[in-house]
Structure 1
Amino acid sequence: MRGNTGRAVAGRLFGRRARLRWVHLILGGALLMPYWLLGTVVAGPLLGGQAMFASSPAVQFTAYAIALPLAAVTALFPLTRPMSVAAARSLCGVAEGRFAEGPADSRDARLRTAGWYTLHVGLGGLVSGATLALPPFAVTTMLLPFSPGLRASAVAHFWSLDQEWLVYGGVPAGLLMLLALVAAAACAGSFMARQAPRLLGPTPADRLAAAERRAAELAVRNRLARELHDSVGHALSAVTLQAGAARRVLDSDAAADVAFVREALAAIEETTRRTVGELDAVLGLLRQGEDDGELPGPGLEALDGLLAGAAAAKVGLRIGEGLDRVPAAVSREAYRIVQEGLTNAVRHAGGQPVTGWIGVDGEELEIVMENPLPAGGPVVRPGGGRGLRGLEERARLLGGTAASGPVGEVWRLATRLPVGGGR
């Protein structure tokens, strides 16, 4: 038990973490130097015109007292926090997640950073001064019993080391001084590490900003997921339907309808080519890791190509007037809504015809799609899908409405979007 305790104490005093914290304190002492030099300029006249670099303790500590408020003022700049965080994260042994990120933008964050910086340079100046002065003094004290000439020297007299008792107690006294320095540095480093999360950690404003950033990132990811789902899901459903129809035609008769098969293959080619382009655009955003607010993709101007690619689904969708004045954002979402409606009809309705219309009604874009409910029940994928939920989210984000479900003997999708633009 005693051995374990001794090793634990030695680790706290001489371990790697203690050494790094000591380096952090010495860095604080180095940062204090410009403020301390400026303080000595002021301290000399205040203390009766003493020299700027006088060795008087009064001048030294007066300059130290003047330096600390100067350091606090300069630490109010926002960029002080990321620099302080970088040093504390590397040297203080504090978990990375407990620090705030970015400049100190709020008043509370700037005041906390100023407090940390003042504490860093203040304690660092004291520890650095002791680190420079105490080891030579302690070594000299330990050498006194072995050097009569040293005991009679001016250095020993200046430091009051010509006392008789030091002839016998110089070595223990010197070792105790060094141990006291190590213990003081370890305690100061531990104190700084405890204060780091409190003074350099996120403020309530930082946590709110981080939560908003995470929400924005999740929103972008959801938008990209909807784009991928709608684009790829529709393409696969259309290609599956076209390929299945072509296969059935080829299997039904040796004299197959070559024109129909050629048309199905052309539709497959066009659908896959269009989808690859859309997929490249969305994956490009994922590679960039950011979103410019406007996802790329086709709009209502590409509706004819979409309906042509779904020819085997027997689509009879009437297109009204006024689509040219639909805003670009609404146009893209409307295209995806029509695409998802066709995908659901192909996937779940067993090849039933799809009818409806799309057009501007007053200040709203109206999309209505219907298909008869299949007699044998819809074809449902294992595990279900998220297409209709994503469709409702698209409409809601634009300030519109979307509803889908059975009405009598048909399945109806009805969507209304404001043409004045999305929120």
Structure 2
Amino acid sequence: MQATTRHLARYLARRFAWHMLGAAIGLALVLLVYSLLFSAVTEPPAWVVVVVAVAAAVGLGLVPGARELEVTAARALLDVDAELVVPARPRLAHRVRTAGWVVLHLVTGMLVAVCLFAVLPGAVLIAVETVAGRSFGSGFPLPNSVVEAVLRLAACAVVGLLAVTATWPLGVAASALAGRVLGPTSHDRLETALARARREAEHTRLARELHDGIGHALTVVSVQAAAGRRVVAANPEAAANALAAIEDTARSALAELDQLLAVLRDDAADAAPAALAPALDDVVTAHRRAGLDLSARIDLPAGLPALLSGTVQRIVTEALTNAHRHGAPGPVRLTVGLAGPADDRVVIEVVNPVRGGTRTGRRSSGGRGLAGIRERVALFGGTAEAGPDGDRWILRATLPWTPAPADRKELDA
């Protein structure tokens, strides 16, 4: 019970402070406007003072920093649960809403101040006059009967109670409106959604890079470790070769991880795939050392863009890793090159034997490798197909490429 009472007291005190802040600013603004008008007109009409004061309050809401102050006050004193925003680049909608909120803050604050410092003392004075039977300057006539006196005392009690509790409903209304007025606009929500989509796309890209680089290296390491463990007693030389391959692969993976972290620090997202992709010859050599019976025919022109080259290297890495991890023992054929003399599309094809359980067209892994290949190819408007063909698994990816004029002359030559 005591905790509830203290919480209610803090609740009312914060809202009262918010209203008094608005009352202080509003009263100062009204006095300033009145003094300026009085210097020009001896007795300015009340409606003129009100109109000019409201216009001044709107101008105050347009001052830079006004929204920050109002958002801070709303969060600290009104206990607003809704999201309040302070945009880095305010738009017209933000300025209009801020000006309207400032006017609301000043008006409600002055209304609460009038209730507490004018209406409440007036009600008390009239009640005292009624009880004492004499006037103390309120200007109200004394009651002529006991019934009239009782009714007047009841009216004073009601008015005084309303004046004291005026801060409660006005504070609740302000708290409810703060989220609508100072909250995000439709443009803010769109920008937030786009920023979230960009973050999710970046997370997907990073996950793909880690999968393609570190994940593939760990696959080679696990295969070599298993092979070395099986032959460590019978063939120490083969076990030593496996350990050497593990060492080289781990060192390469660490270097690639360092490059990825460097790219993240430099925020060079566009250059990441090309900078992180290992050379095709190194990929082929690593898988051959890991025990893959691999024959490769790589014939790529020298003028490939860095991003396209990096994508080709990543696709080859993924395809060979899948062949190593899921394929059956036997020869694997890798072909990388242009589709034909008059066809500038880059074609990547990997053919490997399949195990008996994969002829249905589904790998047993459930990983994201093939999905990652399709995502990379789709960025270039290409195609990617993967599936069983008899006792073989064929992956074929096609990437469009438009050579520069100088590269076109070299290819034609």
Q: Distance in 2 between matches of 1:120 and 1:316?
A: 77
Contact 2:231 2:239 in 1 (8 A): yes
The letter of the residue matching 1:68 is V
2:17 alignment counterpart: 23
User: Within 1, Cα distance between the matches of 2:177 and 2:350?
Assistant: 63
Is 1:189 matched up with 2:171? yes
Q: Distance in 2 between matches of 1:44 and 1:267?
A: 92
Q: For 1:302-381, list aligned pairs within 5 A.
A: 302-311=279-288, 312-322=291-301, 324-360=302-338, 363-374=344-355, 377=358
1:293 aligns with 2:293: no
Unaligned segments of structure 2, at least 5 residues: 404-413
Superposition RMSD in Å: 4.2
- Further displaced range: 20-29 or 100-109: 100-109
Whole-angstrom CA distance in 1 between matches of 2:177 and 2:277? 58
- In structure 2, the CA distance between the partners of 1:66 and 1:171, relative to structure 1 (3 Å rule), is same
- Residue 93 (structure 2) pairs with residue 116 (structure 1): no
Please give the alpha-carbon distance, in whole angstroms, between the structure 1 residues aligned to 2:262 and 2:124: 66
Shift of 1:393: 0.9
Task: Give me the TM-score of the superposition, normalised by structure 1.
Answer: 0.75
* Pair 352,115 (structure 1): closer, same or farther in 2 beyond 3 Å: farther
CA distance in 1, matches of 2:322, 2:14: 62
Residue 70 of structure 1: how far off its partner (Å)? 2.4
Q: Distance in 2 between matches of 1:383 and 1:348?
A: 8
Distance 1:263 1:84, change over 3 A: same
How many Å apart are 1:398 and its aligned residue? 3.1
* TM superposition shift of 1:33: 5.2
* Residue 347 (structure 1) shift: 1.0
For 1:49, the equivalent position in structure 2 comes to 42
Percent sequence identity over aligned pairs: 34
Larger mean CA deviation between 122-131 and 332-341 belongs to 122-131
The range that moved more, 213-222 or 170-179, is 170-179
CA distance 1:77–1:412, change in 2 (3 Å): farther
Q: Which of 28, 33, 39 is matched with 1:39 structurally?
A: 33
Shift of 1:366: 2.5
Residue in structure 2 matched with residue 84 of structure 1 by the alignment: 70
Aligned to 2:185: 203
Contact 1:116 1:199 (C-alpha < 8 Å) held by counterparts? yes
Asked whether 1:96 is paired with 2:82, we answer yes
Contact residue 268 and residue 309 of structure 1 kept, 8 A: no
* Amino acid of the structure 1 residue aligned with 2:111: L
Q: TM-score, normalised by structure 2?
A: 0.77
Unaligned runs of 5+ in 1: 51-55
Cα deviation per residue 1:60-89 (whole Å; 9 max; x = unaligned)?
A: x75343122222244346764444333222
Shift of 1:239: 0.9
**Deviation at residue 106 of structure 1 after TM alignment:** 4.0
Secondary structure at 2:166 match in 1: helix
Residues 21 and 109 in structure 2, CA contact (< 8 A), matched pair in contact too = yes
Structure 1 residue 276 corresponds to structure 2 residue 269: no
Q: In structure 2, what residue type is equivalent to 1:217?
A: R
- 1:201-233 superposed Cα distances (whole Å, 9 cap, x missing partner): 332222222221211111111111112222232
2:263 counterpart of 1:263: no
Question: What is the CA–CA distance in structure 1 between the aligned matches of 2:39 and 2:68, rounded to whole Å?
Answer: 37
Deviation at 1:137, TM superposition (A): 6.6
* Paired AA for residue 348 in structure 1: H
